[in-house]
Amino acid sequence: MKWLLHLLEAFRPLFEADGKLKSLKPLFMATDRFFFSSPAATRGAPHVRDPLDVKRFMSMVIIGLLPCLLCSLYFFGLRVLAMIAVSYAVGGAIEVMFAIIRKEEINEGFLVTGLIFPLILPPTTPLWMVAAGIAFGVVVGKELFGGTGRNLFNPALVGRCFLLLSYPAAMSKSWIMPGSGLWGRLTQYVKIAEVDAISCATPLAMAKEGDPAPLWNLFTGHVSGSVGETSALAVILGGMFLVATRVANWRTVVAVLGSYIVLGGLLHALFPEMFGPVIWHVMAGSLLFGAVFMATDPVTSPATDGAKWAFGILIGVMTLMIRNIGGYAEGVMFAILMGNIFAPILDEVVIRRRLRRLNLER
């Protein structure tokens, strides 16, 4: 790969301080550092460093999302690829733009946001809505707060929330039947015009009308739902990978699911008409996907262990309430956004207690 390195070196002067394209330096640096690791050396103690960097960290999340991505291609077809392409193009362009204005590096975080966002949308969401959603999510959910690492809300969820509130009608009729058979919809590109013929309400919406999908279908993912979250199996596989690599914190995942199962089980036993069966509910909708991929976002979840438990429990309980008592069929998105609001204060409480103890030890 020497030729590529030479090519990059040949173009480098253009982007340096006195080059013609110096304003595009973040873009050049991102390309350069994507292909070749940084040549930087440590300047002081410790003189050696761990090989983990943010690129690797974010790559782990992408790998964790792969099972969901593959399932979504099978169930909902090639349209998914178009949605991802739009999301990456628009989200990436905004990220680059802000990096150039701020004269900062381009952050790898958008690689995750850009992939998660299409996976939490209905499968036939118009592409212009994908673009509008990711643009709103990245600008309002992330860049206005100062970029990755400083955002309060999960940008992908901000984008989805924006779409749901702005285009409720379009969003609610974008659900379709998943593909089946050997190839599923792998070779199809579902057009918007066909949607009416194959549209299909989500299991949670149907359960509200007394027609729940079989548990096995929820497990394999052969149900209607958002692009990447229908298959519980795929989410569990990805989640196990993320927890094993410790990219996702197990406390958050256990707290979200555990609180839902315990409280949901209790309420189901007491008021079976009002609260649905727990295991079915855990597999349905985006609870698993949200618990594994969205609630564990290290930036928008609390930093301390104690607060992570409280954060997870808050999300689990909120989801339970919205799904079973509120007017919406699904509540994970609102629950996690609500959790994001509480994350800093939960951290503050835990940190104060810890520091008080630490200062007693002095």
Partner 1 sequence: MVRLNTEENHITLENVIKEKEESHRADEESAQIPAGTGTKGATRGKLLALGAWQFFYDAHTGSVPDPFGSPRAVIVSSISLEPFLARGDVQIAKRLSSFVRGLSHLQSLLEYQPIHLVVPHMDSPLATRVREAVRGHAWVKLVELPMRHGLEDFSVIARSLGYKQQDESPVWALNVAGVLAVDRTLTMSKPATVRIISIGGPSVKSPCHLKAIPGYPIKKILSDRLSDGPARIINGGVMKGETMDGWLGLDCECEGLTVVPESADREFLGFMKLGGDRQSYSKCFASSVGAGFAERLTTALRGEQRACIACNHCEEVCPSGLMPQLIHKYLYNDELEEAEWAGTDMCSGCGLCSYVCPSKIELRAEIQAAKNRIEHELHPEEVSE
What is the closest distance, in whole angstroms, from the C-beta atom of residue 93 to partner 1 in the complex? 20
How many residues bind partner 1, per CB under 8 A? 55
Give the shortest CB-107-to-partner 1 separation in angstroms.
6
In which residue are the tokens 């690129």 written? 55
* Residue 79 near residue 190 (C-beta atoms within 8 A): yes
- 13 vs 9, 21, 24, 97, 130, CA distance in Å? 8, 9, 12, 21, 37
Q: Which is nearer to partner 1, 86 or 94 (CB)?
A: 94
Check residue 310 for interaction with partner 1 (CB under 8 A): no
Among 303, 317, 321, 349, binds partner 1 (CB under 8 A): 303
**Interface residues for partner 1 in 261-290 (CB under 8 A)?**
none
Please choose, from the candidates 84, 91, 79, the residue with its C-alpha nearest in 3D space to the C-alpha of residue 118.
84
> Residue length, the chain?
362
Is 245 an interacting residue with respect to partner 1 (CB under 8 A)? yes
Q: Which of 31, 59, 188, 324 binds partner 1 (CB under 8 A)?
A: 59
**Is residue 41 near partner 1 by the rule CB under 8 A?**
yes
CB 35, min distance to partner 1, A = 6
Helix (H) or strand (E) holding 355: helix 332-361
- The correct pick among 7, 21, 23, 36 for binding partner 1 (CB under 8 A) is 36
Q: Please enumerate, as own/partner, the contacts of 232-238 that have beta carbons within 8 Å and a separation of 24 or more.
A: 232/282, 232/283, 232/288, 233/67, 233/71, 234/67, 234/68, 234/70, 234/71, 235/67, 235/68, 235/288, 235/289, 235/292, 235/293, 236/288, 237/67, 238/64, 238/65, 238/66, 238/67, 238/68, 238/292, 238/293
Considering the rule CB under 8 A, would residue 82 count as an interface residue with partner 1? Answer: no
In the three-class reduction of DSSP (H, G, I as helix; E, B as strand; rest coil), residue 176 is classed as strand
Residue 259 found at the interface with partner 1 (CB under 8 A): no
How many other C-beta atoms lie within 10 A of the C-beta of residue 294? 28
How far is Cα of residue 267 from the mean position of the Cα atoms in its chain?
A: 29
Q: Which stretch binds partner 1 (CB under 8 A): 89-97, 156-164, 272-280, 352-360?
A: 352-360
Q: Residue 361 has what DSSP assignment?
A: H
Q: Using an 8 Å Cβ cutoff, are 259 and 281 in contact?
A: no
Of 6, 13, 21, 52, the one binding partner 1 (CB under 8 A) is 52
In the complex, the smallest distance separating the C-beta of residue 143 from partner 1, rounded to whole angstroms, is: 13
> Whole-number minimum distance, CB 236 to partner 1, in Å?
18
**Which residues from 86-145 bind partner 1, rule CB under 8 A?**
105, 107-109
Q: How far is the CB of 3 from partner 1 (least distance, A)?
A: 11
Letters for 147-186 (x = contact with partner 1 by CB under 8 A, - = none) are xxxx------------------------------------
In the set 7, 21, 101, 244, which binds partner 1 (CB under 8 A)? 244
Q: Provide the minimum distance between the beta carbon of 358 and partner 1 in the complex, in angstroms, as a whole number.
A: 5
Q: Does 40 bind partner 1 (CB under 8 A)?
A: yes
* CA 357/CA 294 separation, integer angstroms: 32
Contacts of 191 (CB under 8 A, 6+ apart): none
Name, in order, each residue with C-beta under 8 angstroms of 116's C-beta and a sequence gap of 6 or more.
65, 156, 228, 293, 294
> Closest separation between CB of residue 113 and partner 1, Å?
13
Q: Is the CB of 24 or the CB of 177 nearer to partner 1?
A: 24
Each residue 184-213 as x (binds partner 1 by CB under 8 A) or -, in order, gives: ------------------------------
Query: Is the Cβ of residue 142 or residue 185 nearer to partner 1 in the bound state?
Result: 142
Task: Give the up-direction half-sphere exposure of residue 20: CA atoms within 13 A in the CB hemisphere.
Answer: 1
Phi then psi dihedrals of residue 176, to 5 deg = -130, 165
* Residue 10 near partner 1 by CB under 8 A: no
DSSP per-residue codes, 262-300: HHHHHHHHH-TTTS--HHHHHHSTTHHHIIIIITT-TTT
Using CB under 8 A as the criterion, which residues of the chain lie in contact with partner 1 when the complex forms?
A: 1, 4-5, 33-57, 59-60, 105, 107-109, 147-150, 244-247, 249, 298-299, 301, 303-304, 351, 354-355, 358-359, 361-362
